[in-house]
Structure formats: structure tokens, C-alpha cells
Amino acid sequence: MSTDIKKKGDPTAVGIFAYGFSLFFLSIYAMGIYSWSESIVMIAPALLFGGLFLLVAANWEYNNGNTFGATAFATYSAFFLTFALAHIGLFVFKFNSIEVGHFVGLMATAFTIMTLIYWIGSFRMNLALNLTLLFLLITFILYAVPLTTLTSSMTTALGTFPGSLRPAGYVGFIDSIFTMWVGAATVINDRWEITGKKGPIPVFPLVKPKKQD
């Protein structure tokens, strides 16, 4: 009687790319490279890339028994969905822009703490993911400081808004590159390993794998 179990796919790449490209668009905006409307860059990627697809990836991770992945993807999905709804409120319900800025800043503060927890957990995983979470941690801090100190005269603890968001944009852009590294390693290495070859993209495990008896 056959006891073969069909291998499940790894949803890590879906989640990491969804979060990474949401962060990529937001970082480009924060860096001031394009004069995009907030309604485009703040809402569309956050709803679909960061919100919907991260939630899908979280569900798949849960079904695979991966508590770390399911929790991380679900909470970051919640961040992007809340972020998008707050900015929809600016245009539909005429929310006060300073209050929205403070709210997003407080969310960034909360997710600084949450990302710190995930970063600590990643020390039992690999360097690629560890660096991805480290730069995300710094990114959240660099958003939290100016947004929580935003005044009605558009000044912050890091300078005049929106220029004060540029440091967060630069670090977030670097972090989006790390997400591409992790995502590419997940997808490409899987193809190599199926054929019995070692994957070409290193992720540098931080712990030695257990030896099988």
C-alpha cells in the first residue's frame, strides 16, 4: 500500500512578493521620485498586493502548519488593508489629513514592535529573511517618527513633510530588494531541488539542519 504524500507548494514567495512590491511602490512615493497622487500609490497596491494576496498567502501558510508565516503574512495584510482604508477615508469621508498621518504613524509604531518579534524569530531561519525583517524594522521606525510628530504646519521630528519620509523610502526600497532575493530563492531553488540539484540562490541558514536518523 502506497503511503506517498503529495508535496505541498511553498506559499512563502507569494507572501514575500506581495509585501515586497507593496513596499516598493510606497518607497518610490516616499523617495519623491514621482509626483504620484496618494490615491494611486497609497490605495491600489495596499488593497491588492499588500492586503488581498498577503491574506491568501497567510491562509496557505496556516494550512501548511507554518505558524510564523501565517501570523506574519496575516498581520502585514491587516496593516496594508487598514492603511488603504485610512487613505480611502481621506478622499471619500474627508478624514483630517493630520489625524490620518498620526494614525498611520501609530500603526508603524505598533508594527515596529511586531516586526521586532518576527526578526528575533528569524534568527532560527536564514540570513536573507533576517535582513529582510531588519530593514523592514528600520523602515517602520523611520515612518513612525515623522508621522507621529506631524504638526499642522507640516513639520516633523525629521524635517518638513513629505521630505521627512525620504529616509523611510530609501530604506524601504533596499528592503524591497531583499524581498526579491527571498522570493526568487523560494521559487528558483525549488525548481533546482526537484531535479536533485542544489538551488543556485543562497539564503544562508542561521542554524544547521537536523540530521535525519
Cα distances from 29 to residues 121, 162, 178, in angstroms, run 30, 10, 19
Q: Is the dihedral of CA 134, 59, 61, 197 positive or negative?
A: negative
Q: How far is CA 181 from the centre of its chain?
A: 13
Three-state SS string over 81-144 comes to HHHHHHHHHHHHCCCCHHHHHHHHHHHHHHHHHHHHHHHHHHHHCEHHHHHHHHHHHHHHHHHH
10-residue mean pLDDT series, the chain (213 residues): 60 94 93 79 88 95 94 96 93 92 97 98 97 98 98 96 96 97 95 93 89 56
* Rounded Cα–Cα distance for residues 104 and 147 (Å): 7
Q: Would you list the domain boundaries of the chain?
A: 12-194
- 95-153 per-position pLDDT tens digit: 999 999 999 999 999 999 999 999 999 999 999 999 999 999 999 999 999 999 999 99
pTM listed for this prediction: 0.92
Res 42: pLDDT? 80
